[in-house]
Amino acid sequence: MEPALLKKQLFALMKEKAYHEGEIKLASGKMSHYYIDARAVTLSAQGAYLVGHIVFDMIRELEVHAAGGPTLGADPIVGALALVSFQSDLPINTFLIRKNPKSHGRMLQVEGPTLKAGDEVVLLDDVATTGGSLIDAIEVLKKMDIPVRKAIVIVDREEGAQENLAKLGCELVSVFKASEFFSEKYRPVKDQKRS
């Protein structure tokens, strides 16, 4: 299926199942007039299929060792990506980063096939606001001497994540911008005049 058609289908699914308007407190602590519950889509069969194919298409040419990100937002994305990449005969290993290392077993903070110093990776997450979760992930990987080529999110809320990651030398790429989902009520006045 064509990438543009996959993206169009994912947008419709996100708009229907994940985008909600109304006052809500975000993980960043900020209050917002909308919320994007991306896991309502990324954990669905259709959403996983679409996200897996779209993200695979975005990184297939990068020649990275692995792709992964902070748990819980990245969990369904990495599972879908691993499956799609294997089915496409271009397998990409995936990983998850815990907030803190486990207190038992191997006491790992990064779960998945072993990453070695120098292995280049792509970070994944569902939604980015200020980029805090991705910045924390970059710091964890930096301690392991693992460079991050770029970060990909399904939705960029356009509230500083791109700029904050750029300060660390990491490009943030999104499938969608949050403003693409806004109803007329929440569109900036300049956008309303163009309509």
Residue 149 annotated as lining a ligand binding site: no
The CA distance from 17 to 40, in Å, is 6
Largest CA distance in the chain: 58
Residue 53 annotated as lining a ligand binding site: no
Residue 66 annotated as lining a ligand binding site: no
Give percent helix, percent strand, percent coil of the chain, each to the nearest 5.
Answer: 40, 25, 35
Residue 102 annotated as lining a ligand binding site: yes
Residue 129 annotated as lining a ligand binding site: yes
Task: Write out the H or E segment, with its range, that includes residue 59.
Answer: helix 45-59
Residue 157 annotated as lining a ligand binding site: yes
Residue 127 annotated as lining a ligand binding site: yes
Angle between helices 75-87 and 45-59 (to 10 degrees): 70
Residue 126 annotated as lining a ligand binding site: yes
Residue 186, token pair as written in the block: 């929440």
Residue 125 annotated as lining a ligand binding site: yes
Report how far apart, in Å, the C-alpha atoms of 37 and of each of 19, 32, 88, 102, 182 are: 6, 13, 29, 27, 14
Residue 128 annotated as lining a ligand binding site: yes
Known binding site for orotate: residues? 129, 157
Annotated binding site: 98-99, 102, 104, 125-133, 157
Q: Which residues are annotated as a binding site for 5-phospho-alpha-D-ribose 1-diphosphate?
A: 98-99, 102, 104, 125-133
